[in-house]
Structure 1
Amino acid sequence: MIDRPHYLAQLRRWKDRDLIKVVTGVRRCGKSTLLRLFATELEKEGVPPNRIITINLEQLENERLIDYRALHDEVLSRAQPNAMNYVFIDEVQNAPDFQKAVDSLYTRPNIDLYLTGSNALLLGGTLATLLSGRYVEVKMTPLSFSEYRTASAQAKEALSPQRLYDRYIRNGAFPATFDFASDDLSLHDYLEGILSTVLFKDVAQRLNIANSLALDALASFMFDNVGNLASAKRISDAMTSQGLRIAPNTVAEYLSGLVNSYIFYPVKRYDIRGKRLLKLHEKYYAVDMGLRRMALSGQLRDTGRVLENVVYLELMRRESSVCIGRIGEAEIDFVTEGPEGRAYYQVAETVADAGTLARELAPLQALRDNQPKLLITLDDVSPRSHEGIWQVNALDWLTDSTGGHLA
């Protein structure tokens, strides 16, 4: 199993606290493995196996537990009295009315409850009302580049950082892709299976979508346009011009399904001078670059925007919030708020050309505060300052060897 230290640290931090731990993320990103890793840690700490209760609601042998009463009673029948029991329920949203079982189990003083789910609706509606203030969400994605590098080292691969990055954006970061590193056909089939399952099971079935052609086309369009400003009207107009008529309200509905299934992440724009979020237009980034390449018929398009997407995913892991910055007519790729405060980021594949460097620095130079400002590129350079704006190599930054904000 590939180690996931970032997420394990979060589970450790919340262990034995009076909160339900909910691990969310796209299918096959490693949620079940994370729970197994954590269960192994618990056993090493001396927790007996009979106090670690694991139920996967995607497994056929647990089909009877889809009934929330049966699920509830199964956990209680296995729980040991007068001792803390660690209960892991995988894909809990597969049980209709699961929130009733969860709410009851939460009240038991001898149960520490951990859930996983592949749809954001898990934390919506009734459950959010029932558990308001009583749960913590652990947002999981496929492997970060740092985790990917560690897994590569464990597999005794001898790849340079650049070659490893090239494979990372080509094959994607789902943990199982390591099994297909040299088998393109199996890799394609695996990634296609993930996307097909999400589109059919997590989106089409939940939203009762009969027109799967339009849903597939929208997903492909969004993969092709990561990092571009978008709205339902803009997307509708663009797809109509390409020969597929799809109404803006339909775009909005389908897109919400893709977002709720963690295939895409919407990022709002923030007016830095006006200190407000902008209501019109946002950008979308994809959960995985291998999935994107597969959806685009095997083409690795726009490697600059691919880098921007990779940086966004890393910022999402590290920071509390990520927005697109606007200052006047200029745009800053990312504005973040996190434990160390605010920071600003520009992302460019290369700034070897003086004109490109000047263009990328200009929005950051327009800022009048003293918060950290970074220019992240794939240029093979050591960290350097452009009048207080730090230029760093993306591969160093992704593995955190640059020391974070450098300010």
Structure 2
Amino acid sequence: MNHSILKQVINDQIEVIQNADIIERDYSFEKNVNYVLVGLRRSGKSTLLYKIAKELVDEGCDWSQIIYVNFEDDRLLGFTMNDFNDIVETAYELTDAKDIYYFFDEIQIIEGWEHFARRMADQKKRVYITGSNAKMLSAEMASILGGRYIPKMIMPFSFGEALDYKKIAHDDAALFTTSKSAKIRRACQEYVSDGGFPEAQLLNNKREYKKSVYEKVLLGDIMEREQVKNKMALRLMIKKIAETVMHEVSFNTLAGNVKATGTKTSTDSMIEYTAYAENAYLLFRTKNYVSKFAEKESIPRFYFYDNGLLSLFLVDKPSALLENAVAVHLKRKYEDDVYYFKSKQTGIDIDFYLPEQACAIQASYSLGDAEERETRSLISFAEKTEGVKKLIIVTNEEERSIEKDGHEIEVIPIHKFLLA
């Protein structure tokens, strides 16, 4: 790789970092540790690297010691695994310093990147990597990297981060102050509708931004990377999944729904395409805690990693958006310890079960006529499941405590739940 081009790429990127507005996030990084940051596009991974680079300079590092390469730069088209060492050689041409800090953005584009990353770690280099594909955290990659990097998943703004960015106070005093609480509630409705993409928070036309992110994920991270041939089937599948949020769906059903539009597909294709969407951090799934293994894998409930993306497909479905926001919040906090619980034998249907937290949660936009059904499921679940300690119903606005049959159920409005 031409070293002059690499120098230009690195120096141009340094200028970008120097002029960047750094958004504070709820993520922390240990000193002298190598990281792999993964997550949905535009969720803020690069900005976190900018922050780390600026902090290094504030602590005395010279900008020449910051070697930042974004592999989506068009000047790097044709870059291959064999070119990686040119980056190291170029770094030594730029600085005589002993300590050099390498930042590699969207490195998964380059096939074989993991072998270079392992060599860099073995040579005691300080390396920070980002990528937008879950395969970077696969067992195979973990085996190759051999524990030399700490993985960290970066998601779009949490509600608290969105409030911080908009400079809206959300401490206990604010929650109990009429005017400030009203601001929090209004911001929550926007968050549930528009999602948490950092760059979209202050935009007037958020929908166009969300559409551009979705198309980039769909076309670049799924269709192109996975070489999907039946592009229409993939688009229709994601639309159908959006319509099933709040409900479990089998791959057979997904295939049938897509075929009903006149588009050819198969159950195997639906299994493959959902895996692609999960790898690109577009979707994640919860499994039925009470099901047998085969059913756990074949009949999941799908959610979108960001409400803004889900809202592109929905018209006037506040219940689905509220439940998706709850799912994203739980995924952020508890990762894979989030299930649903549905039993044909008992009729119990619980939206979210956190076994390690001994907690069952229902999402209901408004209780009203649904109160009896929601409370009955929770109480029945608590009586039949050993060790359940906490029962919660998340609503749009309602807040109270329900005492029934010796059990207490907390009814929590979505804005407080997302700040918990």
TM-score (norm 1): 0.83
Q: Matches of residues 112-191 of structure 1 in structure 2 within 5 Å?
A: 112-124=126-138, 127-153=141-167, 160-180=183-203, 182-183=204-205, 187-191=206-210
Cα 1:227–1:72 change in 2 (3 A) is: farther
CA–CA distance in structure 2, aligned partners of residues 392 and 295 of structure 1: 27
Q: Give the match for residue 75 of structure 1.
A: 88
- Work out which of the residue numbers 108, 130, 133 in structure 1 matches 2:123: 108
- Aligned letter for 1:267? T
Q: Give the match for residue 92 of structure 1.
A: 107
Q: Give the match for residue 246 of structure 1.
A: 265
- Mapped contact 1:2–1:151 kept (Cα < 8 A): no
- Mapped contact 1:88–1:115 kept (Cα < 8 A): yes
CA–CA distance in structure 2, aligned partners of residues 347 and 129 of structure 1: 39
- Mapped contact 1:69–1:101 kept (Cα < 8 A): no
- Aligned letter for 2:300? E
CA–CA distance in structure 2, aligned partners of residues 371 and 72 of structure 1: 55
Cα 1:397–1:169 change in 2 (3 A) is: closer
Q: Does 1:325 align with 2:338?
A: no
- Mapped contact 1:351–1:379 kept (Cα < 8 A): no
Q: Give the match for residue 415 of structure 2.
A: 395
- Aligned letter for 1:54? Y
Q: Quote the offset at 1:154 in angstroms.
A: 6.5
CA–CA distance in structure 1, aligned partners of residues 55 and 48 of structure 2: 11
Q: 3-state SS of the aligned residue for 1:153?
A: coil
Q: Does 1:53 align with 2:53?
A: no
Cα 1:369–1:89 change in 2 (3 A) is: same
Q: 3-state SS of the aligned residue for 1:28?
A: coil
Query: How high is the sequence identity, in percent, across the aligned residues?
Result: 24
Q: Does 1:355 align with 2:379?
A: no
Q: Does 1:278 align with 2:293?
A: no
Q: Quote the offset at 1:369 in angstroms.
A: 1.5
Q: Quote the offset at 1:84 in angstroms.
A: 4.2
- Mapped contact 2:232–2:263 kept (Cα < 8 A): no
- Aligned letter for 2:184? P
Q: Does 1:365 align with 2:382?
A: yes
Q: Give the match for residue 328 of structure 2.
A: 313
- Mapped contact 1:23–1:116 kept (Cα < 8 A): yes
Of 159-168 and 120-129, the range deviating more from structure 2: 120-129
Q: Quote the offset at 1:63 in angstroms.
A: 4.1
- Mapped contact 2:251–2:298 kept (Cα < 8 A): no
Q: 3-state SS of the aligned residue for 1:389?
A: strand
Q: Quote the offset at 1:243 in angstroms.
A: 3.8
Q: 3-state SS of the aligned residue for 1:271?
A: coil
Cα 1:46–1:275 change in 2 (3 A) is: farther
- Mapped contact 1:23–1:115 kept (Cα < 8 A): yes
CA–CA distance in structure 2, aligned partners of residues 195 and 276 of structure 1: 31
Of 53-62 and 120-129, the range deviating more from structure 2: 120-129
Q: Quote the offset at 1:300 in angstroms.
A: 3.8
Cα 1:169–1:379 change in 2 (3 A) is: closer
| Post-superposition CA distance 1:218-269 (Å, at most 9, x none) | 1111122123212211211223234434211111121111111111002122
Cα 1:44–1:383 change in 2 (3 A) is: farther
Q: Give the match for residue 403 of structure 1.
A: none
Q: 3-state SS of the aligned residue for 1:246?
A: coil
Q: Give the match for residue 43 of structure 1.
A: 57
Q: 3-state SS of the aligned residue for 2:42?
A: coil
- Mapped contact 1:226–1:285 kept (Cα < 8 A): yes
Of 226-235 and 40-49, the range deviating more from structure 2: 40-49
Q: Could you tell me which runs of 5 or more consecutive residues in structure 1 were left unpaired when the two chains were aligned.
A: 401-407
- Mapped contact 1:348–1:360 kept (Cα < 8 A): no
- Aligned letter for 1:74? I
CA–CA distance in structure 2, aligned partners of residues 209 and 217 of structure 1: 13
Q: Quote the offset at 1:164 in angstroms.
A: 1.2
Of 260-269 and 115-124, the range deviating more from structure 2: 115-124
- Aligned letter for 2:189? D
Q: Quote the offset at 1:335 in angstroms.
A: 2.2
Q: Does 1:345 align with 2:361?
A: yes
TM-score (norm 2): 0.81
Larger radius of gyration: 2
Q: Does 1:27 align with 2:41?
A: yes
Of 236-245 and 112-121, the range deviating more from structure 2: 236-245
- Work out which of the residue numbers 375, 378, 385 in structure 1 matches 2:396: 378
| Post-superposition CA distance 1:42-65 (Å, at most 9, x none) | 33333433333221111234446x
Q: 3-state SS of the aligned residue for 1:210?
A: coil
Q: Give the match for residue 12 of structure 2.
A: none
Cα 1:154–1:105 change in 2 (3 A) is: farther
Q: Give the match for residue 192 of structure 1.
A: 211
- Mapped contact 1:374–1:392 kept (Cα < 8 A): yes
Q: Matches of residues 206-225 of structure 1 in structure 2 within 5 Å?
A: 206-225=225-244
Q: Quote the offset at 1:374 in angstroms.
A: 2.3
- Aligned letter for 1:167? E
Paired residues, number: 381
- Mapped contact 1:325–1:334 kept (Cα < 8 A): yes
CA–CA distance in structure 2, aligned partners of residues 363 and 4 of structure 1: 43
